[in-house]
Every structure is written in structure tokens, then in C-alpha cells.
Amino acid sequence: MFKKFLFSLMLATLLPMVAFAGSDDPKEVVETAVNGVIHVLKSRPNQNTITLADREAIRQSVKGYFDFREMAKRSLGKPWRSMDEAQRADFVNTFRELLERSYGNRLSEYHNQTVEFGKVKTKGRIAIVNSEVIDAEKTTPVRYKLVHKKSGWRVYDIKVEGISMVSTFRSDFRQAVSKNGLDGFLSELKKRVEKLKAQDQAKN
């Protein structure tokens, strides 16, 4: 069950990144994103793995349309306020790599699941796009939360079966900062990312 959740979470996290700048339709952004990443997954030479080349293809496809800064800020919470701009930029980059490295390999479990889109709710600069990831075993509700900026709509949080990715990270990060302090937390986070990088390199 937990593996299924992680797969759905990663699928939900990466899919909305592929979009075109300046769109005024949040649902159109997500739909375009889904089709783009699924195309990459279907084009893999080996349908059972995610190679470094596959990961780079996904990264290039999604570059610039996922608001990692907003997600990182909300995931860290109050400690963000005490950071200077250099620390914030460093944390955002580390957070982005953590997402890619922690969950990227779960995309190897994609085997023709389908995605259906439901209602869209918009209030000011915030929009929610509802969807479902469907496979032979179950239907998983996925809700995308977007914010409208100069470049258009961007996703900054995803809920899978009612569980918010930002809220989950915030809980984990709060405990780590409380235990190790902000500097210790950031140091350990970087070590975690480096370990994941080494594991990926060993597989390829």
C-alpha cells in the first residue's frame, strides 16, 4: 500500500511540471503536463527501469514550470524566515534534488495507468485541479494546487488520497530542525541527497 502511495505521489509530482508558459487555464496546464511525461515514460527503451538518461529527459521536459521555491518554502515553514537569500536558494535546489532522487525511480512502475480529470476550482490566484490515477487495482484521487504568477499557473502542492505532500514534508522537516537545528538539518539533507545520487550512479 505504501509503495502504491509513493508511486502515485511521484506520478502526481512530476506530471504537472510539463506545461507551457503563460497559460490562463490551470486544467489545461495539468492535462498538457500529463501527456508530456507519459510520452517520456512510454518511450523508455526499458519499461521496467528509470535510467539517468530517462531522468534527464523528464527533467528537461519539466524545467521551469513547477514552483519548487514555493513548495520548498511551504514545506520548511517558519525556519524559512530566518534564512538569507543564499541559504534559501541552496535549500530550494537541495529540496528539488531530494524530490527527484527520492521518488524518481518509482516512475518505473508506470505501466499504462490512465489519468482522468475532474472539476477545477479557482479563487483569485489559487486553483485546484482534481484528477484520478487509474490502474487495474484501484483509482487514486490526486488533487493539484496551483498558484498564478507572471509566467502562468504553477503547481506548488499535491494531495494524493487526501494527503498533502507539502504538509508531509513540513512535519518531517519540523522534527529534523527541532532535533538538529537549522544548520544541522540542512547538512543532513544534503548528505541524504548525495547518498541517493551515489545509489543512482551505481545502478547505471
> Given this model, what pLDDT does residue 166 score?
94
> Given this model, what pLDDT does residue 18 score?
40
Bridge partner list, 33: none
Q: Exposure pattern of 163-175 as b/e (b: 16+ CB <10 Å)?
A: ebbbeebbeebbe
- In this predicted structure, the answer to whether residue 16 has a pLDDT above a threshold of 70 is no
The 10s digit of each residue's pLDDT in 86-121 is 999 999 999 998 887 776 666 667 777 888 999 999
d(CA 95, CA 173): 11
Instruction: Place 84 in a pLDDT band, splitting at 50, 70 and 90.
Output: very high
Instruction: Place 19 in a pLDDT band, splitting at 50, 70 and 90.
Output: very low
| pTM of this structure | 0.80
Take residue 149 and report the three cell numbers written for it: 504568477
> Given this model, what pLDDT does residue 51 score?
78
Residue 26 CB partners (closer than 8 Å, separation 6+): 120, 122, 127, 129, 144, 146, 148, 153
Portion of the chain with pLDDT greater than 90, in percent: 40
Chain mean position to CA 190 = 18
d(CA 116, CA 174): 34
Instruction: Specify the CATH number for 2-203; select among 3.10.450.710, 3.40.630.10, 3.10.20.600, 3.40.50.10170.
Output: 3.10.450.710
d(CA 12, CA 142): 7
- Residues 143, 32, 112, CA angle at the centre, nearest 5°? 75
The 10s digit of each residue's pLDDT in 123-171 is 999 999 999 988 888 898 989 999 998 888 888 898 988 999 999 999 9
Distances in Å between the Cα of 79 and the Cα atoms of 62, 153, 179, 204 are: 28, 26, 13, 37
More confident: 49 or 8:
49
Of residues 64, 57, 81, 84, the one with CA closest to residue 16: 64
Instruction: Place 65 in a pLDDT band, splitting at 50, 70 and 90.
Output: low
> Given this model, what pLDDT does residue 90 score?
95
> Given this model, what pLDDT does residue 129 score?
93
